[in-house]
Amino acid sequence: MCDNGGACLLGGPEIHHVVQATDALPVEIRAISAVLWHAVTVVLLVLATGCFWLIGHPNPPLASVMIAVQLGFAGLFVFYGMARLQTLWIMPQWIIFLLIPAVMGLGMRHRARVRANHRYDHAFPQ
């Protein structure tokens, strides 16, 4: 699941290892790059854990924050893909960062409908 550098699932060492092996970059830049690389891994693991936790413990404010973080990631991939690379397809991670919040939003919407129907059924028994 994770390589020895900590990149989990779809993260690839082709970026992190290249940056770390580039002697032309100052050691401080390589260090902050390593911190940011692994910080993103931590955020992704927390988001994944949160998604699994939300299955049995609905928490709309938490889900909303998680959706906002993922939409922010998607926006960064779209912005920098277009601004620096003139294409979205070199860094297609924006797709997953839009898909997961969409699924979460549908789940929240479905759960809200079920709860509303349940309240209605109890308020007006047949």
pLDDT value of residue 66: 98
Under-70 pLDDT residues of the chain: 1-12, 120, 122-123
Q: 36-70 pLDDT, tens per residue?
A: 999 999 999 999 999 999 999 999 999 999 999 99
pLDDT value of residue 98: 98
Separation between Cα atoms, residue 92 and residue 74, nearest integer Å: 9
pLDDT value of residue 15: 87
Per the rule left: phi > 0, alpha: psi between -120 and 50, beta: everything else, 26 is beta
pLDDT value of residue 5: 44
pLDDT value of residue 115: 82
CB neighbours of 52 closer than 8 A, spacing ≥ 6? none
pTM, two decimals, is 0.81
Backbone φ and ψ for 96, nearest 5 degrees, come out as -70, -35
The domain ranges of the chain are 1-57, 61-126
pLDDT value of residue 96: 96
